[in-house]
Amino acid sequence: MKLIISSVSGEPIYEQIKNQIRASVLNGELQAGEALPSLRKLAKELRISVLTVTRAYNELADEGVVQNIQGKGTFVMDKGNELMRNQLESQARESLAEAVRAAKAADIPLADLETMLTEEYQKLPS
Torsion of CA 55, 58, 74, 45, to 10 degrees: -10
For helices 82-105 and 110-123, angle between their N-to-C axes, nearest 10 degrees: 140
CATH fold of 13-76, please? Arc Repressor Mutant, subunit A (1.10.10)
Rg (alpha carbons) of the chain, rounded to whole number: 18
Domain ranges of the chain: 13-76, 82-123
pLDDT of residue 37: 96
What is the pTM for the complete model shown? 0.70
Could you report the per-residue pLDDT of 22-76, keeping only the tens digit for each? 888 877 889 889 999 999 999 999 999 999 999 999 999 998 899 999 999 999 9
Tell me the HSE value of 67 on the side-chain side, using a 13 A CA sphere: 14
How many other β-carbons are positioned within 10 Å of the β-carbon of residue 35? 13
First to last CA, the chain: 22
pLDDT of residue 86: 80
**Residue 81 pLDDT level (bands cut at 50, 70, 90):** low
Tell me the percentage of the chain whose pLDDT exceeds 90: 71
